[in-house]
Amino acid sequence: MNAQTNKIQADADGNLFLQLPADLVKDLKLAQNDEIDIMPTAMGFEVRKITDIDDNFWDPFSETVNEYQKALELLKGEDTTDNETPDTK
C-alpha cells in the first residue's frame, strides 16, 4: 500500500472517524465488526487486525523508543550506548 491522505470525518452525532483505505482493508482482510489496534510508531501509527497480533506486538514500538532514547543520549553528549561502557580511570 502506498502512502495516502484521508480526512477525519464526523458522523451525525459528532463522533470523529477515519475511513480506512480500501487496499488496507483488503490487505488486513477486515470485515465489519473486526477489532483493530492502532499502534504508535516513530513515523505515525500502524493499524493491525487484533487476530494478527502475537506476543511481540509492542516490540517494534519499544525498539523504536529505545533507538530514540539512544539518539537523544548521543545528542546530549553522552558518548556511550548499551554496547559500550564508560571509561573508568
Residue 55's φ and ψ, nearest 5 degrees, are: -65, -20
Domain residue spans of the chain? 8-75
Question: What is the residue-averaged pLDDT of the chain?
Answer: 77
Overall average pLDDT of the 1-15 stretch: 87
pLDDT value at residue 54: 58
Overall average pLDDT of the 70-80 stretch: 75
Percent of the chain with pLDDT over 90: 11
Grid cell locating 53: 497480533
pLDDT digit string (tens) for 15-55?
999 888 888 889 888 888 988 888 888 888 888 887 755 55
